[in-house]
Amino acid sequence: MRPVGFFDSGLGGASVLREALHLLPNENYLYYGDDANAPYGDRSYTDIAFLTEKSVSAMADFGIKAAVIACNTATATCIDALRGAFPFPIVSIEPAIKPACETEGSGRVLMLSTAATASLPRYKHLLSTMKDPSRVVSVPCPGLVERIERGCFAADAFDDILEKHLSFLEGETIDAIVMGCTHYVFIKKAFARYASLHFRGKAELFDGNAATVRQLGRVLKANNIENPCGSAHVEYRTSGDKARLEPIFRSLIAL
């Protein structure tokens, strides 16, 4: 009956939780965002690992039965250490480059993420298992998360940042764009807008959210810890300014 804990550096993990509310409505949830320390993506690996472990410890103290690391950056940095440190099952998100690389076409696959995710061995290894890793262009996009954390989601509100990071691909054929950061799922319209103005190709958008939640369902079942009578109740906790963040969080999970 205990809740499943969802962790992210900030609001991004709400995009994964939202999926869980649809796919696993019999569970109850506890969300923890480390907004006081977000973004994680430009921090050192030591910092990210320290802050993530501290946040998961806080969720453990609140009595969760399983955790979802709804943060690509934290997964890439320290998922193995977390699994060794806590007694409950831990499910984690990974960038959805596999389905993206299965798209038809001769164009590129764009993988957008934080700087940390793109540079870590875990992501490089995932990339090396693709049939044609050279099709994938990995682009760190600092700046997006900060703006999303401020509650900004408009399609045209990110043109300057996207221009700065993606102008070197002007006119290229892009078959797929992987949103390799859970925050980015909330600004799909900004990516679609940029792609329609600057790229050729269909630039189909991919995220790993539904796959992560399906894995959570399998893990709860395998450990015999499914909740038969939960009601998708969500308790929200943050290390940041709860009065400012909770209304944004609630509107994001209701989308």
From the list 52, 114, 209, 239, which residue makes contact with ligand DGL (rule: CB under 6 A)? 114
Q: In which order are the strands placed within the sheet that holds 108-113?
A: 136-140, 108-113, 174-179, 204-206
Q: How far is CA 107 from CA 97, 136, 163, 201, 204, in A?
A: 14, 9, 20, 7, 11
Least Cβ distance, residue 253 to ligand DGL (angstroms): 15
Spot the catalytic one: 78, 101, 141, 181.
Answer: 181
Write the interaction track for ligand DGL spanning residues 186-225; mark x where CB under 6 A is met and - where it is not.
----------------------------------------
Helix axes 159-166, 188-198, angle to 10 degrees: 50
From the list 17, 20, 38, 166, which residue makes contact with ligand DGL (rule: CB under 6 A)? 38
Annotated active-site residue 181? The verdict is yes
Least Cβ distance, residue 96 to ligand DGL (angstroms): 12
Q: Which two tokens stand for residue 199?
A: 């790229």
As a whole number of angstroms, the distance between CA 120 and CA 181 comes to 14
Return left, alpha or beta for 249; rule: phi > 0 is left, psi -120 to 50 is alpha, else beta: alpha
Is 117 a residue that touches ligand DGL (CB under 6 A)? Answer: yes
Write the interaction track for ligand DGL spanning residues 120-159; mark x where CB under 6 A is met and - where it is not.
-------------------------x--------------
Cα radius of gyration rounded to whole Å, the chain: 18
What residues line the site for ligand DGL (CB under 6 A)? 8-10, 12, 38-41, 71-73, 114, 117, 145, 181-183
